[in-house]
């Protein structure tokens, strides 16, 4: 009985997290020039547009924007727990991520993999981000803004 309830809670949290992650990726893609309002719309747009601009927009939506939002998984966990009327017990722990935060991180990774499957199947390419170490201002030897340091790496398969 208890195990069944835990499994049910996990499925509900996973579904909630997947929906939130998909909404956020679509929102980030909009921010980077892709005219979509839903994740399914983003998937369809990607199937029909394999331009470098689309790959770059997806890279920002799937990787860089999430990196800018440090602790997003913990924030999402807190939001879910509040909505589901759940709370942690008072036991002290060394864990930096709760079970829902880890679950939401997994849902985000699965969602990005779904987009990469489209890239692989339709275009034979995957979207990857890698920080470019060679983009340093030669005059003052300072690293430029983080956004300028990220380069799109498209790995041919």
In a domain, 46, yes or no: yes
- Is residue 131 within a helix (H) or strand (E), and if so which, with residue range? strand 125-131
Distance in angstroms (rounded) separating the CA atoms of residues 63 and 19: 17
pLDDT at 137: 36
Contact between residue 125 and residue 118 where contact means Cβ atoms under 8 Å apart = no
Tokens of 111: 């969602």
| Helix, coil or strand: residue 150 | strand
pLDDT at 130: 52
Domain range for 117 is: 2-123
The gap between the terminal CA atoms of the chain, to the nearest Å, is: 47
From first to last of the 157 residues of the chain, give the pLDDT tens digit. Answer: 778 888 888 899 999 999 999 999 999 999 999 999 999 999 999 999 988 888 888 988 998 899 888 899 999 999 999 999 888 776 666 667 788 999 999 999 999 999 999 999 998 888 776 533 333 333 233 333 333 434 444 444 4
In a domain, 73, yes or no: yes
* CA–CA distances in Å: residue 145 to residues 29, 82, 132, 150: 20, 36, 12, 9
Number of domains in the chain: 1
In a domain, 144, yes or no: no
Residue 81: Cβ-neighbour burial (10 angstroms; 0-12, 13-18, 19+)? middle
In a domain, 47, yes or no: yes
Look up the pTM and report it: 0.77
Tokens of 73: 């998984």
């Amino acid at each position: 009985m208890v195990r069944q309830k835990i499994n049910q809670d996990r499925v509900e949290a996973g579904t909630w997290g997947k929906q939130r992650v998909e909404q956020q990726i679509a929102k980030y893609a909009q921010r980077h020039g892709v005219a979509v309002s839903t994740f399914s719309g983003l998937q369809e747009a990607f199937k029909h547009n394999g331009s470098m601009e689309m790959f770059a927009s997806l890279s920002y939506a799937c990787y860089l924007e999430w990196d800018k939002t440090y602790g997003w998984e913990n924030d999402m966990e807190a939001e879910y727990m509040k909505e589901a009327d759940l709370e942690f017990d008072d036991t002290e722990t060394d864990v930096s991520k709760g079970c829902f935060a880890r679950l939401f991180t997994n849902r985000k990774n699965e969602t990005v993999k779904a987009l990469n499957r489209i890239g692989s199947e339709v275009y034979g390419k995957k979207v990857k981000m890698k920080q470019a170490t060679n983009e340093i201002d030669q005059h003052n030897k300072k690293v430029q803004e983080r956004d300028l340091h990220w380069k799109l790496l498209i790995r041919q398969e």
